[in-house]
Amino acid sequence: MRVVLDTNTLVSGVISPGGPPRRLLAGARTQAFELCSSATLLAELLDVLSREKFATRLGQAGLTPQGIVGELRRLATMAAPQVVPRVIEHDADDDHMLACALAANAELIVSGDKHLLGLGGQYEGIRIVAPAEAIALIGG
């Protein structure tokens, strides 16, 4: 199954010791599903993980933002969206998530974002679910 994990899900998976986001990150590492991403999404993740509020937690775990993003770049099938649809009026970053999913022919977008989840559970035939539901669909 081809899956796009949003930035908040990835951040939670990195910094939180348990829960669905951590299990999804572990699933990506063991190739329980095919992680899909894009340069834009990974740049956003690098920006978020580089914030001061995450520095201590990452440092204690022996992690760096660059190392995490580098690992995900190696794990992921990288999509290169040519067009970014204007769908989410309040957050253009969410539009990049949709563009990545379309370009990657993803079957699932995993997000806790109210704007994405507010699309009625799907976009252009791609299911949009919260992390806990993704675990049930993917297994793990």
Kindly report the CATH number assigned to the domain that includes residue 31.
Answer: 3.40.50.1010
| 99, 83 contact by CB (below 8 A) | yes
Mean confidence (pLDDT) of the chain: 91
If one counts the domains in the chain, the total is: 1
Lowest mean per-residue pLDDT among 5-9, 60-64, 79-83, 124-128:
79-83
Provide the residue type at 63 as one letter.
L
pTM (global) more than 0.85: yes
Q: In this predicted structure, what is the pLDDT of residue 140?
A: 56
Domain containing 54 equals: 1-137
Q: Is the pLDDT of residue 82 over 90?
A: no
pLDDT band at 91 (very low <50, low <70, confident <90, very high): low
DSSP for 100-127 reads: HHHHTT-SEEE---HHHHTTTSEETTEE
Average pLDDT over residues 61-86: 90
